[in-house]
Structure 1
Amino acid sequence: MTALLTARAAALPGLAGVPLTGAVYRNLVLSPEAPGADRLTVAADLAVQVAGYDDYPVVYPRRIDLARAGDGWQVEHEESTSGPPALWDLGAARSAAGAHCLVLGLADGPTLAALAALGDHAAPAVSELWGTAWPGRLLLELPATEAQFARLLEADPTGWTGMAAVTVAAPGAPWHTPADRVLVNPETYRALSDFGRQVVLTHETTHVATRADTRAWTPLWLSEGAADWTAYRGSGRSPRQIAPELARDVAAGKLPAALPADRDFAAGAEGIAQAYEQSWLACRLIDRRYGPQRLVAFYRAVGAGDGAGEDRERRTDRLLRAELGVGLAEFTRLWLDEVAALGR
């Protein structure tokens, strides 16, 4: 039995095109076997490690159905038992390697190589601002359809329509593992311009690079705003070009009263585009008034220490004063001035 599963792990059909350090089944638990039974079920963890990207094995709980074959057994069926499926559960995975990234995809052709090229541009650009404490490499996953994208997120597909990519943690690995996955929505991604695709990849790369500095108490307006600020920095685009939905709202006399709340970023939320644009504008304000390194320092200060027991708004106010010399109320006023300026 062990020899059978060891041989299967080494030759999983969906993983044939993926560079691996290893793939192995472990923690095997066999169902009770009735005398003379022709079928047997095994619960096991499939531990997979992508070469050069996974510092720890990624673990997928599996159910494996075996059927008797002569004097031995053969695998009849295998499926995931908890958590999202693996990319290769949805089809044979292929790969394209760049200097700073690896793309795993279900769709063959030039898309994988083009995505790798964008990742190769994004990683150094992010390191220039955020430093080199992160590994400086990306693992990108490209399913073939939006429905598959939603399955890999275990989400309702309708809630993710229009979302081009999302950064997800590798399942079954320690929380601090650096090899986060960027999962790309193929249908939304294909509809973007070359510039839009680069913005999306640089945005998600920023999330990967700042994972160690991002905590549950980090406001989403800061984490999403910093990612967009990094992605658009040096693009030469005007604020109205970067924040068109917000500019239209301002022109119509519809102005926000406060920085975006976390709920404003939920997939499918009304006004989600404006929430991202407002957040970009907040981080751009810090950059313009205090410089990019002060924004980076403020971001890291928010994520430092143990903020779980402190009111988030009070913590943000305290750290704004310590890092930038303004409280939350004053910062919000300055930001609202920036928002209003979009209409002038």
Structure 2
Amino acid sequence: MLPAAAPLSRRGALLLAAGGLAQLSLPPAAPAPPPAPAAGLPGAAVTALLAARATALRTHDGAALTATSTVTARAGQFGLLAALAAVPLAGLEYRSPVVSGSVAGGAATVTAELAVRIEGHDGYPALFARRLTLAEESGGWRVAGEETAGGAVPLWDLGAVQAAAGAHCLVLATAGGPAAPAALAEVGDRAVTAVSAVWGGGWAGRLLLELPATEEQFARLLDVPAADWTEMAAVTTAAAGAPRQTPADRVLVNPDAYGRLSAVGRQVVTTHEATHVATRADTRPWTPLWLSEGAADWTGYLDTGRTPRQIAPELARAVAAGQLPSALPADADFAAGAPGIARTYELAWLACDLIARRYGPSKLVAFYRAVGAAGEGAGREQQLDRVLRAELGTGLGEFTGDWVAEAHRLFAA
């Protein structure tokens, strides 16, 4: 999906309830500006302590980590290092530390951003809000505890992380889930190959997938209510705070929803998400969701052998009942929980499938990129009409009519 101002504005789906799947793509979230520092604890002492702690975590140095911790907190640091042991860290640092509350009595609280980069995958760090409790001990300040300060959490907050590397992807998983990390790595490798065959090699050509053990853990990784996301099988995110057109760097998998899918469904979901990663640089806020989600679904279903009725069962039922579409889906139709969301994604798939079959897959790719490169223009529909005419030789009204006729041709009988 495209980056946009609202944090949950880009989403894609195959709804389980409709015989398909559900997926969602999220843009990077803009970090909140740090509060003004409070007086009391010397800033240099905080900076030095957190820098030493970050280096110890990044290098998995137990002795150095315990040296930054209070005596009572040291036992827990070995558990933290064990949870992090399989994570290939290219970078880890605490940014913008701010002391809050009173430092009287040799105790203080510090909030900071934990910036994390995964080796071979993150061009920009993922940022996590952290709260550290400090205590004065043995003539210096030490960390007595660390926890989330709100928002999404890193995977190792949820348990020990396991890693499974494929040829083109890395899976980081917490133990105990229904999906095997190695199996997901195989699916991820196939997804990268399939996406590159359509969209070319102008992207990183690799995936980072996070596989929590439970749906509740999945929700914590996103900082969303678990009950609202039970049908979402996967989410694509970009590093919080990264530039808007930074390639999406993480695919988060909902193990419960993903685990209910068939082998084909799992491949479609993962390839769909890989398409968002590959096309992020060509996707802009003015790219309509029917195009970005439809292209991802079209790529996901390509070469699966699924018929249009198998891909779009809700649309087939609606058209057979005389309910033909009248307009391409609006962005609001893709909102999680929107009425008829399964059919909305099927309509988007049909639009992109029509372009690929009538003009060729390369024309679908060229059209997608041309929409992103065109700019917002005087009006979104006018600009889309102009690009359609330039790339495909047809206007928006004519294309919409052809798309309606195609729905009738495929599903009216």
Aligned-residue RMSD, C-alpha: 1.9
Given the alignment of the two structures, is residue 266 of structure 1 paired with residue 351 of structure 2, yes or no?
Answer: no
* Amino acid of the structure 2 residue aligned with 1:47: A
Out of 17, 22, 28, the position equivalent to 2:97 is 28
Match of 1:314? 382
* Residues in 1 aligned to 2:103 and 2:240: alpha-carbon distance in whole angstroms: 34
Out of 111, 114, 125, the position equivalent to 1:57 is 125
Deviation at 1:77, TM superposition (A): 2.3
Deviation at 1:236, TM superposition (A): 1.5
Residue pair 1:103, 1:140 contacting (<8 A) in 2 also: yes
* Residues in 2 aligned to 1:16 and 1:29: alpha-carbon distance in whole angstroms: 28
Q: Deviations over 1:253-273 (max 9, x none)?
A: 222211111111111111111
Match of 1:38? 106
SS of 1:250's equivalent?
Answer: helix
Q: In the TM superposition, what are the counterparts of 1:56-205 in structure 2 within 5 Å?
A: 56-108=124-176, 111-205=180-274
Q: Deviations over 1:197-218 (max 9, x none)?
A: 0000000000000000111111
Deviation at 1:49, TM superposition (A): 1.2
Deviation at 1:335, TM superposition (A): 0.6
Aligned residues: 342
* Residues in 2 aligned to 1:266 and 1:180: alpha-carbon distance in whole angstroms: 22
Residue pair 2:374, 2:383 contacting (<8 A) in 1 also: no
Residue pair 2:125, 2:240 contacting (<8 A) in 1 also: no
Q: Deviations over 1:142-168 (max 9, x none)?
A: 122222222322323333221111111
* Residues in 2 aligned to 1:76 and 1:137: alpha-carbon distance in whole angstroms: 38
Structure ranking higher on relative contact order (CA contacts 8 Å, 6+ apart): 2
Given the superposition, is the C-alpha separation of residues 82 and 219 from structure 1 closer, same or farther in structure 2, using an over 3 Å criterion? same
Residue pair 2:264, 2:304 contacting (<8 A) in 1 also: no
SS of 1:136's equivalent?
Answer: coil
* Residues in 2 aligned to 1:179 and 1:54: alpha-carbon distance in whole angstroms: 9
% identical equivalent positions: 63
Match of 1:331? 399
Q: Where in structure 1 are there 5+ consecutive unaligned residues?
A: none
Given the superposition, is the C-alpha separation of residues 297 and 28 from structure 1 closer, same or farther in structure 2, using an over 3 Å criterion? same
Match of 2:316? 247
Residue pair 2:159, 2:175 contacting (<8 A) in 1 also: no
Q: In the TM superposition, what are the counterparts of 1:211-250 in structure 2 within 5 Å?
A: 211-250=280-319
What is the TM-score with the length of structure 2 in the denominator? 0.78
Deviation at 1:192, TM superposition (A): 0.2
* Residues in 1 aligned to 2:150 and 2:238: alpha-carbon distance in whole angstroms: 15
Q: Where in structure 2 are there 5+ consecutive unaligned residues?
A: 1-44, 58-79
Residue pair 2:212, 2:218 contacting (<8 A) in 1 also: yes
* Amino acid of the structure 1 residue aligned with 2:206: R
* Amino acid of the structure 1 residue aligned with 2:157: D
Deviation at 1:135, TM superposition (A): 0.3
Deviation at 1:179, TM superposition (A): 4.9
* Amino acid of the structure 1 residue aligned with 2:345: Y
* Residues in 2 aligned to 1:102 and 1:91: alpha-carbon distance in whole angstroms: 18
Deviation at 1:76, TM superposition (A): 2.3
Deviation at 1:61, TM superposition (A): 3.0
Residue pair 1:224, 1:279 contacting (<8 A) in 2 also: yes
* Residues in 2 aligned to 1:338 and 1:283: alpha-carbon distance in whole angstroms: 12
Match of 1:298? 367
What is the TM-score with the length of structure 1 in the denominator? 0.93
Deviation at 1:32, TM superposition (A): 7.0
Match of 2:50? 5
